[in-house]
Chain A
Amino acid sequence: MSADNAYAVELKGVSFKRGTRSIFNNVDIRIPRGKVTGIMGPSGSGKTTLLRLMGAQLRPSAGEVWVNGQNLPKLSRSDLFDARKQMGVLFQSGALFTDLDVFENVAFPLRVHTKLPEDMIRDIVLLKLQAVGLRGAVDLMPDELSGGMKRRVALARAIALDPQILMYDEPFVGQDPIAMGVLVRLIRLLNDALGITSIVVSHDLAETASIADYLYVVGDGQVLGQGTPQELMESDNPRIRQFMTGDPDGPVPFHYPAPDYRDDLLGKR
């Protein structure tokens, strides 16, 4: 068992490699229970990989991933699937089941994990869809929805079983300003009303900082900084300052490593 029950998720000395490329190197992250924690970082910094490590969809090459007192990489396949029933994930693409309509997508977790009567399943589905503003889209198929709507339906599905931990992968991408505002409030509301732990992976600084109780900034395979949004805004660390202010010039390069620009254009012939 993990020693500290104050944390819903704990990554201890986690390293992860894809082939020979190191994505994370000895990372420690602790997600406080019942809070909204933001994980931020530039594109390609491995934020989604981090979420997949927390859901044990990827196995770390070293270290431990504790979720609700269980070290997930050590669990058997069937125990792992049981452990995941306590988690909900909102994938970046929504990942709706394309052969099911909106109603059946949201009802899916209820049908496979509960024996609730049909009228109760219907009520729960409508409640969850109402929360994301899409009760009217209950009969539509996924290919009739916009990208933003798909993610809202996926959110309704993720909260269908009232999970203890809810993970959001880039929830604000592709949302119009109204939906964005509603979504930001909804994440906070769900967290506070249901007493769940929320992990928001995003590079949308303003939205994430506005709802997060605690923030991690990741990059270069490690945690660059952590603290409350206010603490990070006032950080002296130039890497964190650059990310928080969105400055293109600084220690975090905008360009992917490349040979000298001049040599590339004019050539060393």
Chain B
Amino acid sequence: MRRKSLMDRVRLMGRSTIDMVAVLGRSGIFLVHAFLGRGGIGGGFQLLLRQLHSVGVMSLAIIVVSGVFIGMVLALQGFSILAKYGSEQAVGQMVALTLLRELGPVVTALLFAGRAGSALTAEIGNMKSTEQLSSLEMIGVDPLKYIVAPRLWAGFISLPVLALIFSVVGIWGGSWVAVDWLGVYEGSFWANMQNSVSFSDDVLNGVIKSVVFAFVVTWIAVFQGYDCEPTSEGISRATTKTVVYASLAVLGLDFIMTALMFGDF
């Protein structure tokens, strides 16, 4: 293969940058059309309910199981570290703060991207490749309103709720390990947690994080499906992109939001 000259590399870099800006522009216009513009079609609430079931309720199992295990692991790790300093009674507050501030929103968003995000991309991509989106357009129904908008709303609503459920079952898993198994005094476990967890600083900030993650993950997932090349290879590539881009966006945004919320600048 011919080696690329310096100018070829510069040209390729320029082309990639232009393509990236074009994708960002398309995804912005896509979002505006999905949310704004002419009102939706009839039966919008039924469409939303169906998507809430498929995106939210169907993700419940993986979120609950993961939440329980992560809470249990946190309690185990926290106990073994805190015990060295004689502070094992503080394991409750450690589990609660870690879950509410960080792991609840972040891990839920990552799991959501892998489970619901990839499914959204594949579903919309498949509709595109089988001309179902074209068919809707020619029936006079805007697919951005009929297909995309209910899925976007379902993602925005589901993910914060799932993140809260994740934290709750995680705390329950942590209490099971710390109190019932490792013998931490139950009163200290819950009292320490109550004293140290602030609704506005911890719970609310966690919810804000999960709302932002919900917005980004769902946007990436539906846009990748809508914008994909309508072939099996194109759908497969778009699904991979959804998981990779959404995961990176979640981790990057988490750092920025944590710095703003808890950084004490």
- Mark out the residues of chain B between 130 and 149 whose CB falls within 8 Å of any chain A CB in the assembled complex: 130-132, 134-135, 137-142, 146
Q: Which residues of A contact B135 (CB under 8 A)?
A: 89, 91, 95-97, 154
Contact residue among A78, A84, A92, A98 (Cβ-Cβ distance under 8 Å from B138) = A84
Q: Which residues of B contact A109 (CB under 8 A)?
A: 139-140
Q: Which residues of B contact A85 (CB under 8 A)?
A: 139-140
User: Contacts A91-B135, A98-B132 known; A82 to B140 CB distance under 8 Å?
Assistant: yes
- Mark out the residues of chain B between 118 and 168 whose CB falls within 8 Å of any chain A CB in the assembled complex: 130-132, 134-135, 137-142, 146
Contact residue among B38, B42, B43, B132 (Cβ-Cβ distance under 8 Å from A78) = B38
Contact residue among B33, B38, B130 (Cβ-Cβ distance under 8 Å from A95) = B130
Q: Which residues of A contact B33 (CB under 8 A)?
A: 77
How far is B23's CA from A210's CA once the two chains are assembled, in angstroms? 47
Per-position binary interface string of chain B over residues 3-37, scored 1 when its CB falls under 8 Å from any chain A CB and 0 otherwise = 00000000000000000000000000000010001
Per-position binary interface string of chain A over residues 65-93, scored 1 when its CB falls under 8 Å from any chain B CB and 0 otherwise = 00000000000011001101101110111
Tell whether B41 is near chain A: CB-to-CB under 8 Å: yes
Q: State whether A112 touches B138 (Cβ < 8 A).
A: no
Tell whether A113 is near chain B: CB-to-CB under 8 Å: yes
The contact size tier of chain B is 10 to 19
Q: Which residues of A contact B138 (CB under 8 A)?
A: 55, 57, 84, 87-89
Q: State whether A81 touches B130 (Cβ < 8 A).
A: no
Q: State whether A95 touches B42 (Cβ < 8 A).
A: no
User: Contacts A77-B37, A78-B38, A112-B41 known; A95 to B140 CB distance under 8 Å?
Assistant: no
User: Contacts A78-B37, A81-B142, A112-B139 known; A95 to B132 CB distance under 8 Å?
Assistant: yes
A-B contact count (CB 8 A): 62
Q: Which residues of A contact B130 (CB under 8 A)?
A: 93, 95, 98
How far is B141's CA from A78's CA once the two chains are assembled, in angstroms? 10
How far is B135's CA from A88's CA once the two chains are assembled, in angstroms? 9
Most A CB contacts (10 A, CB to CB) among B37, B131, B139, B142 go to B139
How far is B11's CA from A48's CA once the two chains are assembled, in angstroms? 35
A125 to chain B, nearest CB (A): 15
How far is B139's CA from A91's CA once the two chains are assembled, in angstroms? 12
Residue of A nearest to B136 (CB): A97
The contact size tier of chain A is 20 to 34
Q: State whether A57 touches B137 (Cβ < 8 A).
A: yes
User: Contacts A84-B139, A108-B139, A109-B139 known; A91 to B134 CB distance under 8 Å?
Assistant: yes
Q: Which residues of A contact B43 (CB under 8 A)?
A: 111-112
Residue of B nearest to A154 (CB): B135
Per-position binary interface string of chain B over residues 199-232, scored 1 when its CB falls under 8 Å from any chain A CB and 0 otherwise = 0000000000000000000000000000000000
Contact residue among A84, A95, A111 (Cβ-Cβ distance under 8 Å from B131) = A95
Q: State whether A97 touches B132 (Cβ < 8 A).
A: yes
Contact residue among A81, A89, A92, A96 (Cβ-Cβ distance under 8 Å from B141) = A81
Q: Which residues of B contact A113 (CB under 8 A)?
A: 139-140
How far is B140's CA from A82's CA once the two chains are assembled, in angstroms? 6
How far is B132's CA from A81's CA once the two chains are assembled, in angstroms? 16
Q: Which residues of B contact A96 (CB under 8 A)?
A: 132, 135
B34 to chain A, nearest CB (A): 12
Q: Which residues of A contact B139 (CB under 8 A)?
A: 84-85, 108-109, 112-113, 157
Q: Which residues of A contact B140 (CB under 8 A)?
A: 81-82, 84-85, 109, 112-113
A174 to chain B, nearest CB (A): 15
How far is B38's CA from A222's CA once the two chains are assembled, in angstroms? 37
User: Contacts A77-B142, A113-B140 known; A95 to B134 CB distance under 8 Å?
Assistant: yes
How far is B130's CA from A81's CA once the two chains are assembled, in angstroms? 20
Q: Which residues of B contact A52 (CB under 8 A)?
A: 134
- Mark out the residues of chain A between 96 and 136 whose CB falls within 8 Å of any chain B CB in the assembled complex: 96-98, 108-109, 111-113
B231 to chain A, nearest CB (A): 14
Q: Which residues of A contact B137 (CB under 8 A)?
A: 55, 57, 81, 84
Per-position binary interface string of chain A over residues 16-51, scored 1 when its CB falls under 8 Å from any chain B CB and 0 otherwise = 000000000000000000000000000000000000
- 22 A–B contacts, CB within 8 A, in A order: A57-B137, A57-B138, A77-B33, A77-B38, A77-B142, A78-B142, A81-B137, A81-B140, A84-B139, A85-B140, A87-B138, A89-B135, A89-B138, A93-B131, A95-B130, A95-B131, A95-B135, A97-B132, A111-B42, A112-B141, A113-B139, A154-B135
Residues of A bordering B, CB below 8 Å:
52, 55, 57, 77-78, 81-82, 84-85, 87-89, 91-93, 95-98, 108-109, 111-113, 154, 157
Residues of B bordering A, CB below 8 Å:
33, 37-38, 41-43, 130-132, 134-135, 137-142, 146
CB-based closest 4 A-B pairs: A95-B131, A95-B135, A85-B140, A78-B38
Q: A77-B142, A97-B132 are in contact. List 11 more A-B contacts (CB 8 A).
A: A55-B138, A78-B142, A81-B141, A88-B138, A91-B134, A91-B135, A98-B130, A109-B140, A112-B41, A112-B141, A112-B146
